[in-house]
């Protein structure tokens, strides 16, 4: 196993990789070294041939309290632009297997953006979401203005981004940002692991295709998306798993996925 400094990794259930952000002294603030480790861990799970879904979580106190403000404070326009600062932070969105964010505590700024880069958000009763960048004299930089607006609509996103006010896990669920809110922090992580195990139990080709077509709906327009979905649907008739799945149904058996 690779030893990381700012994250922990494990395989708590069959086919499920767990990544826990572990920088308690800074409420899991996201620094460049931390994001490099996170990218490496995601890549390693996505390519090990065994992992079908990932759960990304933090501590009970903080999923992540934002990008590391101390790292960003001295940046200039030129240095940020030249190095394309935080470009590598969105590598996670290229992960072919589903990632579930299990959010407890603070998910602020870059922390909220990181959760929104995941495919599903589950949260706990004490989750605190927000885009407080305006209070620091800046704006969201990790896709927050785009993804939050798509998730909860323009008026609410404007209010949150322009005032920097936080919102709760319950609100996140009510507004459609999170798909579920759980009663305790532990239940949130358990729920995410259970859902990840369900996903990892399906054929990997169909799971990858399902993630891809939903992302098409999220990122593109309707007419193109419907066409894209149909093409992908057609293509899946060329997979072994489609034959396995449909034959098993007809024979009242449990499918043994080949992931091919």
Residues assigned a catalytic role: 67, 110, 113, 133
For residues 66-76, one letter each, b for 16 or more C-beta atoms within 10 angstroms of the residue's C-beta and e for the rest, the string is bbbeeebeeee
Phi-psi bin for 131: left (phi > 0), alpha (psi -120 to 50), beta? beta
CA 137 to chain centre: 27
Closest approach, Cβ 201 to ligand CO8, in A, equals 30
CA distance 52 to 45: 8
Place of tokens 């009663």: 183
197: left (phi over 0), alpha (psi -120 to 50) or beta: alpha
Cβ-based neighbours of 256, under 8 Å, separated by 6 or more: 244, 248
Residue 116 lies near ligand CO8 (rule: CB under 6 A) = no
On whether the CB atoms of residues 89 and 66 are closer than 8 A, the answer is no
Is residue 113 within the footprint of ligand CO8 (CB under 6 A)?
yes
Indicate the residue among 90 and 184 with the shorter CB distance to ligand CO8: 90
Q: Is 37 in the site for ligand CO8 (CB under 6 A)?
A: no
Confirm or reject binding of residue 66 to ligand CO8 (CB under 6 A): yes
- To ligand CO8, the closest distance from the beta carbon of 179 in angstroms equals 20
Nearer to ligand CO8, 139 or 235 (CB): 139
Taking a C-beta distance cutoff of 8 angstroms, is the pair 121, 172 a contact? Answer: yes
Stretch binding ligand CO8 (CB under 6 A), from 24-32, 177-185, 192-200, 205-213: 24-32
Residue from the set 7, 19, 21, 29 that interacts with ligand CO8 by CB under 6 A: 29
Residue 56 sits in the site that holds ligand CO8 (CB under 6 A) = no
Q: Considering only 108-116, 187-195, 205-213, 238-246, which stretch makes contact with ligand CO8 by CB under 6 A?
A: 108-116
Whose Cβ is closer to ligand CO8: residue 105's or residue 203's?
Answer: 105
What DSSP designation does 176 have? T
User: Is residue 154 near ligand CO8 by the rule CB under 6 A?
Assistant: no
- Give whichever of 142 and 204 is closer to ligand CO8, judged by the CB atom: 142
Q: What is the 3-state secondary structure of 72-101?
A: HCCCCHHHHHHCCCCHHHHHHHHCCCCEEE
Cα 151 from Cα 166, distance rounded (Å) = 16
Q: Of the ranges 50-58, 101-109, 214-222, 250-258, which one interacts with ligand CO8 (CB under 6 A)?
A: 101-109
Look at residues 29, 20, 21, 25 and name the one whose alpha carbon lies nearest to residue 109. 29
The reply on whether position 58 binds ligand CO8 by CB under 6 A is: no
Interface region with ligand CO8, contact rule CB under 6 A, candidates 13-21, 44-52, 68-76, 246-254 = 68-76
Verify binding: residue 27, ligand CO8, rule CB under 6 A. yes
Q: Residues interacting with ligand CO8, by CB under 6 A?
A: 26-27, 29-30, 65-70, 86, 89, 106, 108-110, 113-114, 132-133, 136, 140-142
């Amino acid at each position: 196993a690779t030893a990381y400094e700012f994250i922990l990794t494990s395989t708590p259930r069959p086919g499920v990789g767990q990544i826990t952000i572990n920088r308690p002294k800074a409420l899991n603030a996201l620094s460049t070294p931390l994001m490099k480790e996170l990218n490496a861990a995601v890549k390693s799970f996505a390519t090990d041939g065994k992992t079908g879904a990932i759960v990304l979580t933090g501590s009970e106190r903080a999923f992540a309290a934002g990008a590391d403000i101390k790292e960003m404070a001295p940046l200039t326009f030129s240095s940020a632009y030249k190095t394309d600062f935080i470009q590598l932070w969105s590598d996670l969105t290229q992960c072919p297997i589903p990632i579930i964010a299990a959010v407890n505590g603070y998910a602020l700024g870059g922390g909220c953006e990181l959760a929104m880069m995941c495919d599903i958000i589950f949260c706990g009763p004490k989750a605190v979401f927000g885009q407080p960048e305006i209070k620091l004299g800046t704006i969201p930089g990790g896709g927050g203005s785009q993804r939050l607006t798509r998730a909860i609509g323009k008026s609410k996103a404007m209010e949150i981004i322009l005032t920097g006010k936080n919102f709760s896990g319950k609100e996140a669920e009510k507004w459609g940002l999170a798909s579920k809110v759980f009663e305790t922090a532990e239940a949130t992580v358990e729920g995410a692991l259970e859902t990840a195990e369900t996903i990892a139990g399906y054929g990997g080709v169909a799971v990858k295709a399902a993630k891809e077509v939903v992302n098409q709906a999220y990122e593109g327009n309707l007419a193109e998306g419907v066409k894209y979905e149909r093409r992908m649907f057609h293509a899946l008739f060329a997979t072994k798993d489609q034959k396995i799945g449909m034959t098993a149904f007809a024979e009242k058996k449990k499918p043994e996925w080949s992931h091919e």
